[in-house]
Amino acid sequence: MKSLILIVFCALALVSCNSKQNIGSRQQIKWLSLSEVQEKMKSKPKKVFIDIYTDWCRPCKMMSKRTFTDPEVIEVINKEFYAVKFNAESKEDVNFIKKRYSNKSKTHDFAIQIGSSPSGLAFPTIVYFNESFKRIQAVPGYYESKEFIVVLKYFGEDHYKKMSYENYYKSYY
């Protein structure tokens, strides 16, 4: 009887430890560098998602803490995109699609080139590229998870090819 109690106790302890490990190993966005994405695109083309942020940007930090940790957001990003985080104030030169970009001022030339819209560059901005590295669109601003999933699916599932975002948004809800 004592050995049966000991076996049950040990089994419960193992299950408890294993469940704690699973909690600690939550799924995360598979962030890649620009060079890693370019290498992966050679063998397995996929849409690209570039998060342009700065260290001082409060909405950028909120996106990282809230939106980018949501399990559904993580699932959609990892399924549909190669994801990159790019600090718009980085001092490092970057090579992207056979062109070299550097930081000649406060904001990196790469961030300005890919993330600017007619109204300028805002933080955060998410830039979407298709499987051929053609820019689809830059989308500025902070999004809560629920709204962001709509945007991710709009680009990730190619709805942008068939309808405006406004019409897609209406049909989504």
The answer as to whether 8 is a domain residue is no
The answer as to whether 111 is a domain residue is yes
Burial annotation 96-133 (CB, 10 A radius, 16+ → b, else e)? beeeebebeeebbbbbbebbbeeeebbbbbbbbbbeee
How many whole angstroms separate alpha carbon 152 and alpha carbon 147? 9
Would the pLDDT of 127 be above 80?
Answer: yes
DSSP characters for 88-136? Answer: TT--S-EEETTEEE--SSSS-HHHHHHH-BTTB--SSEEEEE-TTS-EE
The answer as to whether 6 is a domain residue is no
The answer as to whether 32 is a domain residue is yes
How many whole angstroms separate alpha carbon 66 and alpha carbon 79? 19
Confidence grade of residue 172 (pLDDT, cut at 50, 70, 90): confident
The answer as to whether 123 is a domain residue is yes
- The whole-number pLDDT of residue 114 equals 97
pLDDT, tens digit, 9 for 90 and up, residues 134-164: 999 999 999 999 999 999 999 999 999 999 9
The answer as to whether 16 is a domain residue is no
The answer as to whether 44 is a domain residue is yes
Query: Which structural domain range is residue 65 located in?
Result: 27-172
Compute the chain's Rg from CA coordinates.
21
50: CATH:
3.40.30.10
- The whole-number pLDDT of residue 86 equals 99
Which pTM does this prediction carry?
Answer: 0.83
Q: How many domains does the chain have?
A: 1
The answer as to whether 22 is a domain residue is no
Q: Name residue 47's beta-bridge partners.
A: 81
